[in-house]
Structure 1
Amino acid sequence: MNTAEKSLHYLVEKWLTPDPEARIRVVRFGHIREDRTRYVHVEASASSGPRAIFFFRHEDGCWCVFPPRIAQPSMTGYRLAA
């Protein structure tokens, strides 16, 4: 998938505007405290009723509908040759 297909504009249109008369508004935006991940809460008002979704920005600059994984401590074991 190319970068344009992961832009916030593309994802808002893909997920929230199948109705051409839908009105889009940003409800809230900010950072998640733990790792400073950016998020945007977007709402679409359409004739079928309101729909809302959160979008999260990943380290590569792309926006997704799921939050990025939080880096956790890990341990690797090695066997030394005798």
Structure 2
Amino acid sequence: MNIAEQSLRFLVEKWLAPIPTTRLRVVQFGRTGYERRRYVRVEALAASGSHAIFFFRHADGCWCVFPPSIARPALTGQLAA
């Protein structure tokens, strides 16, 4: 996927602004609890009503509508020769 297609601006316009007259605003932003990942809540105001979506920043710098997976402990091994 193209990096520009994972930017916050691209995703906000894709998910919330289907028509040019829709007004967009950032309602909330901050960091998640444990891993301190960034999130933004954007609201779209239209004549038909308002909608809001949370966007989450992943470790690779891309924004998505789903939160990043939590790093969990892992166990690896190596066979002895």
Task: State the TM-score bracket (shorter-chain normalisation).
Answer: over 0.9
* Structure 2 alignment gaps of length 5 or more: none
TM-score normalised by length of structure 1? 0.92
- 1:2 corresponds to which residue? 2
* Aligned Cα root-mean-square deviation (Å): 1.0
For the pair shown, which has the larger CA radius of gyration, 1 or 2?
1
Give the C-alpha shift of residue 76 in structure 1: 2.6
Tell me the percent identity: 64
Partner of residue 16, structure 1: 16
Could you tell me how far 1:80 is from its partner in structure 2? 2.8
Deviations 1:17-58 (A, max 9, x none): 002111101000000020010000000001221010000000
The alignment's TM-score, normalised by the length of structure 2, stands at 0.93
Q: What's the counterpart of residue 70 of structure 1?
A: 70
Equivalent residue pairs, number: 81
Q: Give the strand-richer structure, 1 or 2.
A: 2
